[in-house]
Structure formats: structure tokens, C-alpha cells
């Protein structure tokens, strides 16, 4: 398949990109192109103009803050996976990036692109929600605004964003002392879309172990659950996993996906608990 005809231009600055998309109804930003070009080839999207922002180095930077990190929207998945600073301060994000497709895909796909595309099986949005991340959104003629990633998604490939909105920065809180993380995904083959997955952050809190669990690949958007476990033993995690899975209504192979996601919750939650008193970074993968 080939896309419908479109105009193409490469932006040299963020302000120029915002202006060019604003003045052409139906225009879209082009970053890594891993998702947009595929749907264009199937004629599921027919933008009249593509404004290429892939070479805007100003959005490929990372800044370290006392309790968070600020990542440019054009940071590539491979960079998130391999950067030493991100690996040390945001190991959950690094682990999620490791599960995206194959290296060739990770070399092209961008952080802002995967957030905006809103694929319910995407790994990075789930990890960002588990960490309590927010995005900075810009539009021509409008003041920059900040949105929580957890509040962004409305359904399959649907967000609060307009076509003229651009995700320029992502602020990701680092794990506080006394926290642990876990990530588990099940797919048919390495590099395939997730059939089910869970990103988990746990910490000690009042009444027991506080768990922030984000399920992906099993609904029309990432699903956030916050629960307290009085006992963090394997039986407690298994019971919680089956309770949460029973609440889901997957659109296909419902029983199968419930079993998969229950396994992912148990695995990710148990790993997160083990890291509470262990090494926060975990094993580095490249």
C-alpha cells in the first residue's frame, strides 16, 4: 500500500513546526514515523501535510532535576534504553523501552510519538503512568501547558491532544527512597505487540505495601490501579492479580488475556517488592 498524496516540509525550530501545522488544516507532525507512516500506508490517515520535526536537536536533550528528569519529546527509544543516566535514575523506563519492537524500530521511534499515538499495547506510556509522569504540550499562539500522562488517554488511539498540539518535554519523577519497580510483558514473539503487560511501582506506606500498577495490552487504554497489600507474600500478590484481572473486559480472547495479565501483575509486583531493599537499578540491558 502507498499513502495518499501529501505535502512535506522539514521544520528548523519548534516555533516554526507549530506555526506550519497550525496554518494547514489536517497537517501532522512527523517524528520517528514508526506509527504514522504505517497507518498512512493503509490509508487510515490522510494528512494533507507532514511537518518533519525529527531533526530538532533542541527536543533530544535530557535534564537532571533533584526529584525528576526532563526528557525531550524526540528522545529515541534506543536512547532511553541505553543512556546511563536514565538507566540509573529511571530503570523502569529503561526496562520498558527494552521491550519495544526490535533495535531498528527503537532507533527511530520517539518518546513523544509513542505517548501521542496512544497504542493501548505500548510499553512506555504504561511505565510513565506508573512513575507519575507528566508531559508539556505546546500549540502555536497558546501558552505551554502540563498534563499528567495518566489523564491523557480516552480510548483506542485517542487522547486529549489536538493535531496542532506537540509534546515537547516529558517530566518523569524518579523513584523515592524505599520504592521498588517491576515490569512484565507477554507477547507471542520477541518484538511483537504486547498481549498483556504490567508496570509496577511499590513503596512502604500506611497500612502495608502501596502498589501502583499499570496494565497495558488488555483494554482500550493503559489502566491504573492503586492498591494496598497488608502482606507482600506471593499468595497476596496472586490474589490481588486475579482480583484485578477479573474486573477487566478485554475486547478479544477475554479469559486468555485475563490469565496473562494476572501472571504479569504477580511477576511485576513481586519483582518490585524484591527491589525495595535491593539494588534499584537492576540489570542493565542493551
> Cell numbers of 176, please?
523515592
- pLDDT of residue 279 exceeding 50, the answer is no
pLDDT of 281 above 70: no
pLDDT at 278 (0 to 100): 60
pLDDT for 41 equals 93
| pLDDT, position 282 | 46
Looking at the structure, tell me whether residues 126 and 163 fall in a common domain: yes
- Do 235 and 250 lie in one domain? The reply is yes
- Both 187 and 269 in one domain: the answer is yes
Q: Is residue 185 part of a domain?
A: yes
Do 39 and 71 fall within a single domain? no
- pLDDT tens for residues 147-190? 999 999 999 999 999 999 999 999 999 998 889 999 999 999 98
Residue 216 β-bridge partners: 197
Average of pLDDT values for 200-207?
A: 92
* 190 and 252, same domain (yes or no): yes
CATH number of the domain encompassing residue 235: 3.30.390.50
The count of structural domains within the chain is 3
Distance CA 229, CA 140 (A): 46
> Does residue 29 lie within any of the structural domains?
yes
Q: What is the pLDDT of residue 140?
A: 96
pTM: 0.94
Domain that holds residue 270: 179-274
CB 128 within 8 A of CB 149: yes
User: Can you give the pLDDT at residue 276?
Assistant: 87
Of the pLDDT bands very low, low, confident and very high (cuts 50, 70, 90), residue 286 is very low
Q: Is the pLDDT of residue 206 over 90?
A: no
Amino acid at each position: 500500500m502507498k499513502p495518499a498524496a501529501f505535502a512535506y516540509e522539514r521544520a528548523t525550530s519548534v516555533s516554526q513546526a507549530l506555526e506550519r501545522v497550525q496554518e494547514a488544516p489536517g497537517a501532522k507532525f512527523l517524528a520517528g514515523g514508526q506509527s504514522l507512516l504505517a497507518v498512512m500506508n493503509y490509508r487510515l490517515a490522510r494528512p494533507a501535510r507532514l511537518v518533519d520535526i525529527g531533526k530538532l536537536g533542541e527536543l533530544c536533550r535530557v535534564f537532571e532535576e533533584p526529584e525528576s528528569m526532563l526528557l525531550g519529546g524526540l528522545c529515541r527509544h534506543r536512547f532511553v534504553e541505553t543512556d546511563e543516566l536514565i538507566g540509573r535514575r529511571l530503570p523502569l523506563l529503561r526496562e520498558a523501552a527494552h521491550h519495544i519492537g526490535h533495535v531498528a524500530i527503537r532507533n527511530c521511534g520517539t518518546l513523544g510519538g509513542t505517548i501521542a499515538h496512544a497504542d493501548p499495547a505500548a510499553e512506555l506510556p504504561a511505565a510513565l503512568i506508573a512513575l507519575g509522569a507528566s508531559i508539556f504540550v505546546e500549540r502555536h499562539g497558546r501558552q505551554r501547558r502540563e498534563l499528567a500522562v495518566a489523564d491523557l488517554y480516552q480510548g483506542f488511539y485517542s487522547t486529549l491532544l489536538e493535531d496542532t498540539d506537540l509534546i515537547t518535554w516529558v517530566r518523569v519523577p524518579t523513584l523515592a527512597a524505599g520504592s521498588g519497580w517491576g515490569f512484565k510483558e507477554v507477547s507471542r514473539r520477541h518484538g511483537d505487540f504486547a498481549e498483556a503487560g504490567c508496570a509496577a511501582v511499590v513503596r512502604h506506606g500506611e497500612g502495608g505495601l502501596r502498589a501502583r500498577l499499570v496494565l497495558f495490552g488488555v483494554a482500550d487504554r493503559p489502566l491504573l490501579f492503586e492498591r494496598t497489600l497488608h502482606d507482600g507474600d506471593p499468595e497476596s500478590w496472586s490474589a490481588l492479580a486475579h482480583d484485578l484481572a477479573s474486573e477487566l473486559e478485554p475486547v478479544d480472547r477475554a479469559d486468555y488475556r485475563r490469565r496473562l495479565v494476572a501472571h504479569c501483575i504477580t511477576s511485576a509486583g513481586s519483582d518490585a517488592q524484591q527491589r525495595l531493599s535491593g539494588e534499584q537499578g537492576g540489570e542493565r540491558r542493551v
